[in-house]
Amino acid sequence: MGFNAESFLQYRLQPQSLTAGMKSRIFLAAAAIAVLAATSWRWLSRRRLRKLASMIPGPPTLPIIGNLSVIMGTNDQAFRNLWNFSKQYFLTCRLWFPSCLVVFVADGEDLKTLLNSISCLSREFVRKPVSLANLHHDIYLAKPEDLVRQRKVIYPAFKIGILKKYVPIMFRKSEELMENIEQTNHEEFDIHKLIKICITDSIFSPLMGVNANLFAKRQKSFQEALHYLGQFIVEGFRKPWLCLVLIFMSSRTFRNVSEKRRIMVDTIDSITKEHEEKMLFFYQIGNFKEENATESLNGQLLTKLMDHTYGNQTPTLNTDEMEMDISTIYYAAFDTTPVAIAFVLSLLGFHTQVQEHLQGMKYLKQVIQETLRLYPPVPFAPREVSNDVDIKGYTIPAGTVVTFNYMA
């Protein structure tokens, strides 16, 4: 049979179907090209960043992962590694992570420069994990002007005249704390746990008008939810692959985050609902007077928050911001404040001679301040630099996550 050129050309010109294997190879090749192009673009766009970073002291880095191994493992291991690096390089230290450059600063004058700079206010680097956790109005992403506006709402609830009303409550709860400590019979116990209960009952419950006994049923799950969501934000920084939407949505972490978020929202809703029912009467008669409400109701802070959210024709807060403020106040009540008090008591136990002078409030204040200097409840505070900032001997380039190291 002879060769038919016309039939051959017709066959070649007909569209041919692709097999599954060919499609997968084309997809992988396209994906590889896209990744290579994105990596090359990122590498070229960060040349100046790398040049300035090379002048800052720091440990050797590995390709792609940088110094990611420093913060791998448990939280305790990561903290110890960061603490060792801060001691090794003392004032200024540079670490490279896959997602960003991190510079730790401990020098007092440099910290003052950074803290006074408007270029060091952003927390944009946590936007992805915060958004994935559906915490869109979290304090981590709040703009400076929004924080100022919210603090103006909160501040009146902490005036001296109002705080004096809580002194009897704090005194009574402090006596209960001492009774609980005495019941340990001088055996080893977790002082932090007892302090958390004391602080929550004496500060958070009165400020929010929450019945401590009723709230105790939800308190543990609420604490765990806030702690888990906070840890997820840290994990998103340590494990950037968690911030890839497809990986996150198919992971167990997504289900856990969704559950903890639901617990947090449900708890806050239960707190505000009960208080709202009590306040509704004032709004219905159209004669709401804040001083009357705060005198007749427990929970001055929550009253103010709800008034600015529901009581004005042009609300100064929205419901998400009110939720954020409640979570922030509670987090301070059960986390940072108990940590500080636990360190104060621990140091007083080691330095018994100091206890004799604690009757004077000025001396007590100095003891607390020295404790906070030695053992700050928040040892590291990260911020993203939006513009280049000059410190002694170095330039921190825009896009860097500068971390205030209060432990050095």
Amino acid occupying residue 122: S
The whole model's pTM is what? 0.72
Selection from 148-162, 180-194, 302-316 with the highest mean pLDDT? 180-194
Q: Which residue has the higher pLDDT, 255 or 248?
A: 255
Q: How many domains does the chain have?
A: 1
Q: Which of 43-52, 65-74, 235-244, 391-400 has the lowest mean pLDDT?
A: 235-244
Q: Which of 231-245, 343-357, 385-399 has the lowest mean pLDDT?
A: 231-245
**% of the chain beyond a pLDDT of 90:** 4
pLDDT given for residue 292 in this prediction: 45
Q: Is residue 19 predicted with pLDDT exceeding 80?
A: no
The rounded distance, in Å, linking the Cα atoms of 289 and 72 is 54
pLDDT given for residue 370 in this prediction: 92
Residue 87 C-beta-side C-alpha neighbours within 13 Å: 6
Residue 34 lies in a domain: no
pLDDT given for residue 61 in this prediction: 85
Measured torsion, CA atoms of residues 9, 15, 20, 23, in degrees rounded to the nearest 10: 100
Are residues 218 and 270 in contact, defined by beta-carbon separation less than 8 angstroms? Answer: yes
Q: In this structure, how many other beta carbons lie within 10 angstroms of the beta carbon of residue 325?
A: 24
Are residues 165 and 351 in contact, defined by beta-carbon separation less than 8 angstroms? Answer: no
pLDDT given for residue 303 in this prediction: 75
CA angle 196-202-208, nearest 5°?
A: 105
Residue 131 lies in a domain: no
Which letter does DSSP use for residue 390 in this model? E
Residues linked to residue 104 through DSSP beta bridges, in sequence order: 93, 403
**Tokens 């915490």 sit at which residue?**
135
Average pLDDT estimate for 318-332 = 75
Residue 352 lies in a domain: no
Per-residue confidence band for 369, with pLDDT thresholds at 50, 70 and 90? very high
Residue 93 lies in a domain: no
Average pLDDT estimate for 325-343 = 80
Residue 317 lies in a domain: yes
pLDDT given for residue 97 in this prediction: 83
Selection from 256-265, 315-324, 367-376 with the highest mean pLDDT? 367-376
pLDDT given for residue 294 in this prediction: 42
Residue 265 lies in a domain: yes
Average pLDDT estimate for 136-153 = 67
Q: Is residue 260 predicted with pLDDT exceeding 60?
A: yes
Q: Is residue 349 predicted with pLDDT exceeding 80?
A: yes
Radius of gyration of the chain (CA): 28
Q: Which residue has the higher pLDDT, 205 or 54?
A: 54
Q: What is the mean pLDDT of the chain?
A: 77
Q: Are strands 101-105 and 401-405 parallel, antiparallel or unpaired?
A: parallel
Residue 129 lies in a domain: no
pLDDT given for residue 58 in this prediction: 87
**Tokens 């609830």 sit at which residue?**
157
Residue 257 lies in a domain: yes
The rounded distance, in Å, linking the Cα atoms of 131 and 125 is 11
Which letter does DSSP use for residue 46 in this model? T
pLDDT given for residue 142 in this prediction: 65
pLDDT given for residue 293 in this prediction: 43
Q: Is residue 183 predicted with pLDDT exceeding 70?
A: yes
Among 269, 267, 173, 177, smallest CA distance to 223 is for 267
Per-residue confidence band for 165, with pLDDT thresholds at 50, 70 and 90? confident
Structural domain boundaries, residue 223: 142-170+193-335
C-alpha 331 chain-centroid distance? 10
